[in-house]
Amino acid sequence: MNFTITSLEDDKRPVYITGNFNKWDPRDSQFELKEIAKNTYSIDIDDKTLPENIEYKFTRGGWENVEIDRFGNITPNRKTIKAESKTTDTVEKWRINWGPFKKEFFPIVEIISEKFFIPQLNRTRKIWALLPYNYHNTDKTYPVLYLQDAQNLFNEGSAYGNWEIDKKMSILAEYGRGDVIIIAIENGSEDRIKEYVLDYNSITENAEGKKYIRFLADTLKPYVDSVYRTKPEREFTGIGGSSLGGLISIYSGFLYPEVYSKLMIFSPSLWVNPENNFPQMNFKNPYNIKVYMYGGEQEGSQMTERIERFEKTMEGWEDSHSLQFDFKISINPEGKHQEFFWSQEFPRAMEWLYYNTTEDPKELAKKAEIIRSETSDI
Q: Return the domain boundaries, the chain.
A: 2-94, 103-370
Nearest to 126 by CA among 105, 144, 109: 109
pLDDT digits (tens, 9 = 90+) for 73-121: 889 999 999 999 999 999 999 999 898 999 999 999 999 999 999 999 9
- Of 187-201, 223-237, 347-361, the range with the highest mean pLDDT is 223-237
Backbone angles phi, psi at 238, to 5 degrees: -130, 165
Contact 348, 330 (CB under 8 A): yes
Q: What percent of the chain has pLDDT over 90?
A: 77
pTM for this structure? 0.85
Question: How far from the centroid of its chain's Cα atoms is residue 240's Cα?
Answer: 10
Question: How far from the centroid of its chain's Cα atoms is residue 90's Cα?
Answer: 30
Average model confidence (pLDDT) across the chain? 90
pLDDT digits (tens, 9 = 90+) for 25-49: 999 999 999 999 999 999 999 999 9
CATH architecture of structural domain 2-94: Sandwich (2.60)
Residue 359 has pLDDT above 60, yes or no: no
Q: Looking at residue 280, what is its pLDDT?
A: 63
Radius of gyration of the chain (CA): 22
Q: How far apart are CA 215 and CA 218, in angstroms?
A: 5
Count CA atoms closer than 13 A to 31's CA, side-chain side.
26
pLDDT digits (tens, 9 = 90+) for 154-198: 987 677 789 999 999 999 999 889 999 999 999 999 999 999 998
Nearest to 288 by CA among 312, 319, 262, 269: 262
Backbone angles phi, psi at 24, to 5 degrees: 60, 40
Residue 132 has pLDDT above 50, yes or no: yes
3-state SS of 66-117 is: EEECCCCCECCCEEEEHHHCEEEEEECEECECCECCCHHHCCEEEEEEEEEE
pLDDT digits (tens, 9 = 90+) for 311-342: 998 888 776 666 789 999 999 999 999 999 99
Residue 300 has pLDDT above 90, yes or no: no
3-state SS of 115-164 is: EEEECCCCEEEEEEEEECCCHHHCCCCECEEEECCHHHCCCCCCCCCCCC
Listed range (49-53, 93-97, 131-135, 356-360) with the worst mean pLDDT? 356-360
Q: What is the DSSP letter of 25?
A: -
Q: How far apart are CA 36 and CA 3, in angstroms?
A: 12
pLDDT digits (tens, 9 = 90+) for 13-24: 999 999 999 999
Backbone angles phi, psi at 181, to 5 degrees: -90, 130
Q: Looking at residue 198, what is its pLDDT?
A: 87
Topology annotation, domain 103-370: Rossmann fold (3.40.50)
Omega of the bond leading into 100 within 30 degrees of 0 (cis): yes
Q: How far apart are CA 343 and CA 349, in angstroms?
A: 10
Identify which has the larger pLDDT, 101 or 366.
101
| Helix, strand, coil tally for the chain in percent (to 5) | 35, 30, 40
Q: Looking at residue 278, what is its pLDDT?
A: 79
Query: In what helix (H) or strand (E) does residue 253 lie, and over which residues does it extend?
Result: helix 244-255
pLDDT digits (tens, 9 = 90+) for 240-283: 999 999 999 999 999 999 999 999 999 999 999 888 887 766 55
Q: How far apart are CA 9 and CA 223, in angstroms?
A: 49
Q: Looking at residue 375, what is its pLDDT?
A: 38
Judge whether 2-94 and 103-370 match in fold: no
Q: Looking at residue 45, what is its pLDDT?
A: 97
